[in-house]
Chain A
Amino acid sequence: MSSTFETVAGIISETADIPREKITPESHAIDDLGIDSLAFLDIAFAIDKAFGIKLPLERWTQEVNEGKVPAEEYFVLKNLVARIDALVAAKAA
């Protein structure tokens, strides 16, 4: 399991009060973990701080709402972690 996933899972567990063992790379943040939009902003804040990035949540939400991208692309944790890694890499480049 990547260190990014471990960090994100820890953030979700602490911020949304979800037992850590329930959080897997296949978990869908909304459908499986029941995280609502306000709680996700708290999680985004913690992720932004932990990784020194800015998750483009509004763009993602708009793309999902417009049907351009399936929600799984952003909100299944393995995909979220991949996007975080990409943002971190882009920042370092």
Chain B
Amino acid sequence: MRLEYFEMIDTVVALDREAGRIETRSVVPAASPVFEGHFPDHPLVPGVLLTETMAQASGYLLLARDDFARMPFLMAVDKARFRAFVEPGAELTVEARIVHEGSGYAATAATLSAGGRRIADAELRFRTMPFPAGLDGRMREQAARIGLLAGAPSA
């Protein structure tokens, strides 16, 4: 994870395009400017960044599902819950699945856990649109970095 660059996903552990399911892994860095303010001498990953982590896992799932035909943009976060603190060094797993594919949007359910313990969960919705100019290639670069395009094992 590079929190300040919003690179929240390190690796795609498993992907099942047909079933609409993904599992990702991320390691919280030991140090980040984010922790200077959240909170001084008591570093915790902000809940908004845990939500972003679940959203990015879901987004990569939708990108893979659509074979990079459309870009998902987060449009709604429902029923988000944060059940435990996440500290530097934590190893995070996100499991996300598609719960509905509408016309021009999709909904996912995501759970973030650490050490087998559920930390956070949310229902997320994304507007799916044609890629803005130039973003397609950059998203493919990010997807390659995390192994999404490398044939991740089936979930």
Contact = CB atoms under 8 A, between A and B. Distances in A.
A58 interface: yes
Interface of A: 38, 41-42, 44-45, 48-49, 54-59, 61
Contact of B105 (A44, A49, A61): A44
Contacts of B88: none
Interface of B: 75-76, 100-105, 107, 125, 127
Given A42-B76, A48-B102, A58-B103, 7 more contacts: A44-B102, A45-B125, A54-B103, A55-B102, A55-B103, A57-B103, A57-B104
Nearest to B125: A45
A38 B75 contact: yes
A56 B103 contact: yes
Contacts of B105: 41, 44-45
Given A41-B75, A42-B76, A49 B100 contact: yes
Nearest to B104: A58
A47 B94 CA distance: 29
Dominant secondary structure of chain B at its interface with chain A: strand
A41 B127 contact: yes
Contacts of B104: 41, 57-58, 61
Nearest to B107: A45
Contacts of A58: 103-104
B108 to A, nearest CB: 12
A61 B103 CA distance: 10
Contact of B103 (A38, A42, A44, A49): A44
Nearest to A49: B100
6 contacts: A38-B127, A44-B102, A55-B102, A57-B104, A58-B104, A59-B103
B29 to A, nearest CB: 34
A56 B101 CA distance: 11
B128 to A, nearest CB: 9
B127 A45 contact: no
A26 to B, nearest CB: 25
B99 to A, nearest CB: 9
A51 to B, nearest CB: 12
Contacts of B75: 38, 41
A6 to B, nearest CB: 22
